[in-house]
Each structure stands twice: as C-alpha cells, then as structure tokens.
Amino acid sequence: MDKVAIIMPAYNEEKRIGATLKEYSIFFKNVVKNKILDYNIIVVINNTNDRTEEIVHGLMKDDKRISYIDLLRGGKGYAVIEGFKLALKKDFDYIGFVDADMATPPEELFKVIMETKKYDGAIADRYLKNSEIRPSPSMKRLLARRIFNFLIRTLLLVPYGDTQCGAKFFKKKVLESVIHKLSMSQWAFDAELLYHVHKQGYKIKTVPTKWYDKEYSKINFWRAGPWMALGVIRLRLLNSYLRSFVRIYDKLIRFIPK
C-alpha cells in the first residue's frame, strides 16, 4: 500500500485536537483495513502553551500511527515546513497537511489524497462549483477573498482559485524539489508553496470540498488579510529582478501597526 504522511500543525488546540485526531484515526484505520492506503499523522505542536501536547500524547496510545514534534517557535508555515522535512526523511509516497480544527473532515482530505495519486499534487478548493462552505460566508468575506485571489493571480501568475484552504497534498518528489525554496513561514506560506510548485511545472488538481468554518478560529481574517497581501507582494519581489529591494520593503512594513 502507498503510505501518506498527514502533517497537522497545532497551535493551542486543546479545545479541538482531541476530537479531530479521533475522527481522523477512525476514518483512516478503515482506509488501512480496506487496503487502500497506509497513513501516519504527524502533529506539529507549534509553540503552544496549553494542553495540546498532553492530549496528543494520550491519543497516541490508541493509534500508533499518531506522533508529534514540539517546536519552540511559532508560525503555521514554519510548523508545516518542519513537518515536511521530517516526513521527507521517511518512506512516504504522499505528504501533505491539514488544519487541526477539522474544518476539512477526514473524508474530504481523503478525496484530495486520492487525486494526488493521479497528478503531482492536489489541493482542496472551497469555491469550486460542487464545493460547500458551512455556514455560508458573508458577502464581505467573499469580496475580500476575490481581491486576495486577484492579487495572487496577478503577481504570482498561479492558476489556483483557493490558495488558502488548509488541505493540500503532494507526491514526495514535488516537496523534495521545492522544500529548500520555502522561507515565508507566516502570512504567505500557502501562496509561496504553490508558487514554487507551479513554477517547477508540476500538475496540481483542484478538488471540490466541504469546508466547515469552525469556532475558536486562531486567525482574524480582517486583521490577517492585509498582512497576507503584504506577504504576497514580498514573495513577488523575492522572485523578480527587484529582489534587492526586499530589505528596504521589510524595513518599511515594520512601521505598519499590527
């Protein structure tokens, strides 16, 4: 059977990580039972200060395919990159990540994984025709999403309609070829990852998904949105003949209040 590594970054997720891991464990144990795929879930505990580690450690007794690493510094992108590096040292065929809040249920991530077998990678897209977002997003959020996506398509020339959905999977060879290029660990991580994958010429499938906007979200969209946009602009500068201006750009944005 092919083996998959599911990277799950977790920052102060004590309210949700237990339920998420139980659901994923039940689902993917059945996948193994049916001899479709084998799996490991690698939780990357991301500079947490709550009971996340304790909860994950307790669940490892019920599922030996669950493991974790504990980081001293933060940033979701950094956590995912460290999870990638760990998985790349082992004999996995497919490696990807999913958010710990179970906004993406296990059966939806499974669809993404299965599409990865046909392409170089696959990403969930919340805005495709057959996708569902529950509850339905507000008009303001849809407008902000369109503006951000326009910025990414214009500056980075990538064809993906939803770069920020936290459910992405790739063949091992893809991550091996781009891992050394990934440097933006916070606001623009997803965009940077997909930018380099697309630039290398890999074929990525976008997959309709059911996505549930969860309570206790760690990201304030309206606060994070401008920083995500600034991160995309920085990424464009880094990969252009204007890369020498990045230091000046970094100094300028320090004066912007967070």
50 occurs within a structural domain: yes
What is the pLDDT at residue 188?
82
Q: pLDDT category, 145, cuts 50, 70, 90?
A: confident
Residue 27 pLDDT: 98
Give yes or no for residue 4 having a pLDDT over 80: yes
Q: At how many degrees (to 10) do helices 189-199 and 139-156 cross?
A: 40
What the block records as the tokens of 175 is 């991550």
Q: For residue 10, what pLDDT is reported?
A: 95
Question: Is pLDDT at 117 greater than 90 in this prediction?
Answer: yes
256 pLDDT tier (thresholds 50, 70, 90): low
Residue 258 within any structural domain of the chain: no
Q: Is 169 helix (H, G, I), strand (E, B) or coil?
A: strand
- Within a domain: 155: yes
Domain count, the chain: 1
Query: Residue 139 domain-assigned?
Result: yes
Residue range 67-75: mean pLDDT, rounded: 89
pLDDT at 222: 54
162 Cβ contact list (under 8 Å, min separation 6): 123, 124, 125, 126, 127, 128, 149, 206
Of the pLDDT bands very low, low, confident and very high (cuts 50, 70, 90), residue 204 is very high
* Cis ω before 135 (30° cut-off from 0): yes
Beta-strand (E) ranges in 184-232?
Answer: 204-208, 210-212
pLDDT of residue 56 exceeding 80: yes
Distance CA 124, CA 207 (A): 5
Average of per-residue pLDDT across 236-246: 79
**pLDDT more than 70, % of the chain:** 90
Question: How many angstroms separate the CA atoms of 2 and 20, rounded?
Answer: 23
Strand-pairing partners, residue 95, are: 5, 170
Q: Is residue 206 part of a domain?
A: yes
Query: How far is the C-alpha of 96 from the C-alpha of 241, rounded, in Å?
Result: 31
pLDDT of residue 14: 95
**104 and 111 in contact (C-beta within 8 Å)?**
no
Task: Report yes or no: 67 and 41 within 8 Å, Cβ to Cβ.
Answer: yes
- Compare 216 and 60 and report the one with higher pLDDT: 60
Q: What distances in angstroms separate CA 136 from CA 17, 59, 210, 225, one per listed residue?
A: 24, 33, 11, 19
Confidence of residue 221 (pLDDT cuts 50, 70, 90): low
Confidence of residue 209 (pLDDT cuts 50, 70, 90): very high
Residue 95 has pLDDT above 70, yes or no: yes
Q: What is the CATH number of the domain that holds 30?
A: 3.90.550.10
Q: 228: closest CA among 127, 156, 176?
A: 156
Say if 131 falls within a structural domain: yes
What average pLDDT does this structure show over 71-82?
89
Domain containing 19 equals 2-253
Strands (DSSP E) contained in 185-249 are 204-208, 210-212
Q: How confident is the model at residue 144 (pLDDT cuts 50, 70, 90)?
A: confident
Predicted confidence at residue 185, as pLDDT, reads: 59
